[in-house]
């Protein structure tokens, strides 16, 4: 993949129209006030007009029965000339079922900003295979509908990555973070700011004295990627060469031993041997002891393939954490261990 320059979608500008899609779980239908808050905040804070794809607001049962309808929504949003960007409403666990129904040539021919995380990892792999940059960032319900407004850290990340064609530059650390959850089904909670705590910063799991490394970002939610291994959609061996792998765990809170087994497969494929570096999103609902166990199994598996040198940065602000940053899937990132920096070395949009 290092020899292939991915297509960058046109940048978003104020006044552009973005479409919301439900490519996995039909949760937007179940929490309409939460969705409405997200829509209003996207429009008021980011200056974007929001429209719904035809099946965006369908209920969970309908969407589960109709993977074709979900695939059609993505294709509709890509080909509608009015739509300039596509935001996922939420993740889930079965958007892999729409992969056979997607037209990868159409994705390549109609590059647009596409953003989401968690189960939306499936579509990020589809965009990568089609040769188009996509954006591992907040969804409408998780991040953009944040209580009492989109968090400033998320707003800044979106503006820097999606609205500007300049080189993105240094990735910033959020000043605060939270796992505090307020029931989305209670509209009154939208007016209650969640309780945040100071962010102690990223954790350098290993390779902190290594020279700087650089490669293309490739990854997503580690559990979701498991659904693609062994399929025709799994990225080619060349796609992983020299890559900066980024992984995060979901709200299913997998045990460290599960992550160990999943990572060992990456070792067996030779992916870990060829990687330039690794970023790990802040693990959701991990007590401190469990988090350290997770980092230990990462070091263990890397040692098994002789990669004591691989720079690994954890507790990075992406994925199932709040506030949520934005990683441009397929763009180049540089890890500078001695400077304790992560730098996005190119623009993600045109």
CATH of the domain at 236: 3.50.30.60
Residues spanned by the domain of 99 = 17-168
Q: Indicate whether 6 belongs to any domain.
A: no
Q: Indicate whether 10 belongs to any domain.
A: no
Does residue 158 share a domain with residue 37? yes
Does residue 163 share a domain with residue 202? no
Q: Indicate whether 64 belongs to any domain.
A: yes
Tell me the C-alpha distance between 95 and 107, whole Å.
Answer: 16
How many structural domains compose the chain? 2
Q: Indicate whether 12 belongs to any domain.
A: no
Does residue 296 share a domain with residue 152? no
Does residue 116 share a domain with residue 206? no
Q: Indicate whether 75 belongs to any domain.
A: yes
140, 168, 196 - which closes a domain = 168
pLDDT of residue 143: 98
Tell me the C-alpha distance between 177 and 164, whole Å.
Answer: 25
Asked if 331 and 216 touch (Cβ cutoff 8 Å), the reply is: yes
Q: Indicate whether 1 belongs to any domain.
A: no
Q: Indicate whether 288 belongs to any domain.
A: yes
pLDDT of residue 5: 79
Other C-beta atoms within 10 Å of 93: how many? 16
139, 168, 197 - which closes a domain = 168
Residue with tokens 């060829």: 274
pLDDT in 10s for each residue of the chain, 350 residues? 444 679 999 999 999 999 999 999 999 999 999 999 999 999 999 999 999 999 999 999 999 999 999 999 999 999 999 999 999 999 999 999 999 999 999 999 999 999 999 999 999 999 999 999 999 999 999 999 999 999 999 999 999 999 999 999 999 999 999 999 999 999 999 999 999 999 999 999 999 999 999 999 999 999 999 999 999 999 998 899 999 999 999 999 999 999 999 999 999 999 999 999 999 999 999 999 999 999 999 999 999 999 999 999 999 999 999 999 999 999 999 999 999 999 999 999 99
Q: Indicate whether 350 belongs to any domain.
A: no
116, 133, 168 - which closes a domain = 168
Cβ neighbours of residue 4 closer than 8 Å, sequence gap 6 or more: 131
Which residues on adjacent β-strands are paired with residue 247? 220, 280
Does residue 333 share a domain with residue 192? yes
Does residue 291 share a domain with residue 227? yes
Does residue 216 share a domain with residue 114? no
Does residue 297 share a domain with residue 257? yes
CATH of the domain at 67: 3.40.50.10740
Does residue 207 share a domain with residue 148? no
3-state secondary structure 155-211: HHHHHHHHCCCCCCEECCCCCEEECCCCCCCCHHHHHCCCCCEECCCCEEEECCCCC
Does residue 264 share a domain with residue 216? yes
Q: Give buried/exposed letters for 207-242 (b at 16+ CB in 10 A, else e).
A: beebeebebbbbbbbbbbbebbeeeebbbeeebbbb
Q: Give me 299's structure tokens.
A: 């070091």
Does residue 213 share a domain with residue 157? no
Does residue 163 share a domain with residue 193? no
């Amino acid at each position: 993949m290092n020899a292939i320059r991915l297509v960058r979608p046109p940048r978003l500008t104020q006044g552009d129209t973005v479409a919301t899609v439900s490519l996995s779980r039909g949760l937007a239908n179940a929490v309409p006030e939460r969705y409405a808050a997200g829509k209003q905040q996207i429009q008021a804070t980011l200056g974007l007009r929001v429209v719904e794809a035809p099946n965006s607001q369908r209920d969970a049962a309908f969407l589960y029965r109709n993977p074709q309808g979900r695939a059609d929504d993505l294709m509709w949003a890509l080909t509608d000339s009015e739509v300039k960007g596509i935001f996922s409403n939420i993740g889930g666990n079965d958007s892999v079922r729409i992969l056979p129904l997607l037209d990868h040539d159409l994705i390549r021919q109609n590059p647009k900003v596409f953003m989401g995380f968690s189960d939306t990892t499936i579509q990020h792999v589809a965009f990568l295979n089609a040769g188009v940059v996509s954006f591992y960032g907040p969804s409408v319900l998780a991040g953009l509908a944040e209580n009492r407004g989109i968090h400033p850290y998320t707003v800044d990340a979106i503006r820097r990555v999606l609205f500007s064609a300049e080189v993105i530059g240094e990735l910033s650390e959020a000043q605060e973070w939270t796992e505090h959850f307020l029931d989305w089904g209670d509209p009154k909670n939208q007016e209650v700011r969640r309780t945040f705590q100071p962010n102690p910063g990223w954790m350098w799991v290993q390779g902190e004295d290594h020279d700087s490394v650089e490669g293309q970002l490739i990854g997503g939610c580690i559990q979701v990627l498991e659904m693609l291994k062994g399929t025709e959609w799994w990225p080619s061996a060349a796609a992983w060469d020299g890559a900066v792998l980024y992984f995060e765990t979901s709200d299913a809170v997998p045990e460290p031993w599960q992550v160990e087994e999943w990572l060992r497969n990456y070792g067996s494929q030779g992916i870990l041997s060829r990687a330039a570096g690794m970023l790990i999103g802040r693990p959701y609902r991990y007590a401190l002891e469990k988090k350290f166990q997770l980092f230990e199994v990462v070091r263990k598996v890397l040692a098994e393939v002789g990669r004591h040198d691989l720079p690994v940065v954890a507790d990075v602000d992406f994925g199932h954490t709040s506030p949520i940053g934005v990683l441009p899937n397929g763009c180049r990132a540089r890890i500078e261990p001695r400077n304790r920096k992560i730098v996005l070395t190119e623009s993600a949009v045109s």
